[in-house]
């Protein structure tokens, strides 16, 4: 579904005005009397609510992929590039963001602009019904709007925790000292009950998508018993399945496949402005070389050595759950591209080389990744580049925007079916159902082990020593918990989940401080960084939003 921005509104929170009211029509908005409020107009309002899924007008500061707040803030990725480029992201990487951080301001704006547009849609529905439009025709559109409103609030909740819930009837600034999970659940339950099981347009949610989101809401509340039956329904009766090859999830020609539960619909070369609907949130995250995908901009979002080490496998084809970081996978750190380098020869999970670009390993038809020549500043960001959001060489100018290769039409996955399977495995572990948890983890590993899905050299041989096997037992609950959590990292790396997973598991402080302790000798800018769970589990609410609310919003603890 092409993203068409109907409104140019840029609401911080939909709060504001002199008397702290919300009933003043924003400049540029259309009201009854200016245009006929009918089913067509409601549909256009709804499209404008979808348009905010990609994080714009937050531009690259508010990416839908959450690479900034979900990955750079974790142990998976460095900011990359140079230390002086985008300093506000340095703050996030060091767990020291302030209340004027541009990445947080733009994310807040983008989310609450999306909520505003959802509420405009719901108000348009009310007006259309008053104008005599058949309510039954509008109910599915209202369900889509409420689903999107649930999505946006859930995003805000996992980032800031203490947030205001804004409904279509809100007329005054709303405090953020009330738990909004019940409101989010109400929106998602309404969507479950009123959305169809299928949609004609790709990218629109179905009742099955809403169920997956409702389960996600329960997972983030650690209400695993409530999540379990919903996940069972989605798995046993829903339309989703794992695709055969792992990389099909990141191939723009195979968007909206059976594994895509919900994704941001990106497009280029679509008759619009060439790139305006492309994946703008990732536009900085290409290798720093003109002969690479992205055309040379801008060297951000570089995988950590810690992440690469996690993909090592033992003699049984399993990950090293506790000792993976004891020894590094060999890299070309400090080795110029014109000098000889032989890649790591040990056994690896094949998902590594669909996630990370490594020296000497085939890179999506662009040839073997040449190492330092593709990296803006190895001393700062390390030797690796990201991969999941890049086009195949054969797709240059088609899946990437003609003349603007930083923008492409690879969808941004928000929930994949493997995500659903691994949530259900978490629930099984919590309930001591270890064989059931192991089977779900093995489903995910079985697909990864398919040799047809390995990264291959030009001669058709595997690009590295790939060796991955299924688990034969989960000997204890503690082991099972580690295995499930580790699998989420391997499967979903670079998709914006890692930081939020660590927080909801209650292990962010221990994991991230251990990560900093090991990494700071290589990435010197991490020296002195400390993660404090009482503060850093959630981000500071932007000062601009607090000021706009006339002090109704209260800052998060510790900031």
Which token pair is 519? 């990494």
In this model, does residue 468 exceed pLDDT 60? yes
Contact 185, 214 (CB under 8 A): yes
Q: What mean pLDDT is predicted for residues 403-412?
A: 95
Tokens 């998602």 found at: 188
What is the percent of the chain where pLDDT is above 70? 93
Return the half-sphere exposure (C-beta side, CA atoms, 13 A cut-off) of residue 397: 2
Q: What mean pLDDT is predicted for residues 141-165?
A: 98
In this model, does residue 471 exceed pLDDT 80? yes
Q: How far is CA 439 from the centre of its chain?
A: 26
Residue 56 pLDDT grade (very low, low, confident, very high; cuts 50, 70, 90):
confident
List, for residues 479-526, the tens digit of each pLDDT value. 999 999 999 999 999 999 999 999 999 999 999 999 999 999 999 999
Q: What mean pLDDT is predicted for residues 112-121?
A: 97
Long-range contacts of 136-142 (CB under 8 A, 24+ apart): 137/39, 138/39, 138/42, 139/194, 140/194, 140/195, 140/196, 141/39, 141/42, 141/43, 141/46, 142/194
In this model, does residue 104 exceed pLDDT 50? yes
Mean pLDDT over each residue of the chain, to the nearest integer = 93
CA separation for the pair 79, 371 (Å, rounded): 18
CA separation for the pair 406, 180 (Å, rounded): 37
Contact 454, 470 (CB under 8 A): no
Tokens 């330092």 found at: 372
Helices (H) and strands (E) in the chain, counts: 17, 8
- Specify the pLDDT at position 33: 54
- Specify the pLDDT at position 241: 98
List, for residues 301-337, the tens digit of each pLDDT value. 999 999 999 999 999 999 999 999 999 999 999 999 9
Q: Which residues pair with 21 in a beta bridge?
A: 172
List, for residues 208-228, the tens digit of each pLDDT value. 999 999 999 999 999 999 999
Q: Which of 264, 250, 241, 257 is nearest to 420 (CA)?
A: 241
In this model, does residue 8 exceed pLDDT 50? no
CA separation for the pair 418, 38 (Å, rounded): 40
Which token pair is 399? 């899946």
- Specify the pLDDT at position 276: 82
What are the residues whose beta carbons fall under 8 Å from the beta carbon of 495, sequence distance 6 or more?
Answer: 65, 388, 413, 416
Q: What mean pLDDT is predicted for residues 99-112?
A: 97
DSSP per-residue codes, 107-129 = HHHHHHHHHHHHHHHHHHHHHHH
Q: Is residue 405 helix, strand or coil?
A: strand
CA separation for the pair 328, 343 (Å, rounded): 12
CA separation for the pair 260, 120 (Å, rounded): 28
Which token pair is 157? 């909740």
- Specify the pLDDT at position 16: 35
Q: What mean pLDDT is predicted for residues 255-279?
A: 91
Lowest mean pLDDT among 53-62, 188-197, 453-462: 53-62
Contact 542, 62 (CB under 8 A): no
Q: Which residues pair with 181 in a beta bridge?
A: none
CB-neighbour burial class of residue 34 (10 A; exposed 0-12, middle 13-18, buried 19+): exposed
Contact 184, 154 (CB under 8 A): yes
Residue 6 pLDDT grade (very low, low, confident, very high; cuts 50, 70, 90):
very low
Contact 79, 284 (CB under 8 A): no
Which token pair is 442? 């093995």
Residue 167 pLDDT grade (very low, low, confident, very high; cuts 50, 70, 90):
very high
Which has the higher per-residue pLDDT, 100 or 36? 100
In this model, does residue 243 exceed pLDDT 80? yes
Contact 256, 263 (CB under 8 A): yes
Q: What mean pLDDT is predicted for residues 195-203?
A: 97
């Amino acid at each position: 579904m092409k993203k068409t921005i109907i409104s140019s509104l840029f609401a911080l929170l939909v709060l504001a005005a002199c008397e702290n009211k919300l009933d003043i029509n924003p400049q540029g908005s259309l009201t009854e009397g200016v245009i006929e409020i009918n089913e067509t107009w409601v549909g256009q309002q709804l499209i404008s609510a979808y348009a905010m899924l990609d994080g714009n007008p937050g531009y690259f500061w508010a990416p839908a992929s959450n690479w900034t707040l979900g990955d750079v803030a974790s142990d998976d990725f460095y900011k990359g590039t140079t230390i002086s480029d985008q300093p506000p992201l340095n703050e996030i990487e060091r767990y020291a963001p302030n209340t004027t951080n541009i990445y947080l301001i733009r994310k807040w704006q983008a989310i609450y602009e999306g909520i505003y547009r959802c509420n405009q849609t719901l108000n348009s529905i009310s007006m259309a019904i008053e104008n005599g439009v058949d309510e039954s025709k509008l109910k599915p559109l209202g369900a889509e709007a409420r689903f999107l409103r649930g999505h946006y609030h859930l995003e805000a909740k996992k980032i800031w925790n203490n947030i205001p819930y804004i409904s279509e009837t809100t007329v005054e600034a709303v405090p953020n000292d009330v738990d909004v999970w019940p409101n989010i659940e109400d929106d998602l339950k309404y969507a479950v009950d009123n959305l169809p099981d299928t949609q004609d347009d790709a990218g629109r949610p179905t009742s099955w998508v809403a169920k997956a989101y409702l389960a996600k809401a329960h997972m983030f509340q650690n209400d695993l018993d409530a999540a379990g039956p919903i996940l069972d329904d989605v798995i046993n009766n829903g339309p989703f399945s794992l695709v055969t090859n792992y990389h099909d999830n990141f191939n723009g020609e195979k968007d909206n496949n059976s594994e895509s539960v919900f994704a941001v619909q990106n497009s280029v070369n679509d008759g619009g402005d060439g790139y305006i609907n492309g994946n703008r949130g990732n536009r900085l995250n290409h290798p720093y070389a003109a002969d690479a995908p992205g055309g040379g901009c801008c060297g951000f979002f570089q995988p950590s050595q810690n992440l690469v080490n996690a993909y090592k496998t033992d003699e049984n084809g399993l990950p090293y759950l506790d000792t993976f970081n004891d020894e590094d996978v060999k890299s070309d750190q400090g080795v110029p591209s014109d000098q000889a380098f032989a890649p790591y020869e040990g056994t690896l999970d094949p998902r590594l080389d669909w996630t990370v670009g490594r020296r000497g390993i085939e890179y999506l038809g662009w040839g073997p990744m040449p190492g330092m020549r593709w990296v803006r500043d190895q001393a700062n960001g390390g030797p690796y580049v990201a991969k999941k959001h890049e086009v195949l060489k054969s797709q240059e100018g088609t899946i990437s925007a003609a003349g603007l290769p930083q923008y492409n039409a690879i969808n941004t996955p928000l929930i994949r079916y493997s995500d659903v399977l691994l949530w259900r495995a978490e629930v099984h572990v919590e309930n001591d159902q270890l064989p059931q948890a192991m089977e779900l983890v093995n489903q995910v590993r079985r697909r990864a082990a398919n040799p047809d899905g390995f990264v291959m050299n030009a001669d058709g041989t595997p690009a590295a020593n790939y060796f991955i096997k299924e688990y034969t037992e989960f000997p204890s609950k503690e082991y099972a918990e580690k295995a499930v959590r580790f699998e989420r990292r391997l499967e979903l790396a670079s998709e914006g989940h890692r930081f939020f997973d660590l927080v909801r598991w209650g292990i962010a402080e221990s994991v991230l401080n251990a990560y900093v302790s090991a990494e700071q000798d290589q990435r010197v800018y991490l020296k002195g960084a400390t993660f404090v769970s009482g503060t850093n589990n959630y981000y500071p609410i932007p000062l601009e939003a607090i000021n706009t609310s006339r002090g109704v919003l209260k800052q998060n603890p510790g900031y």
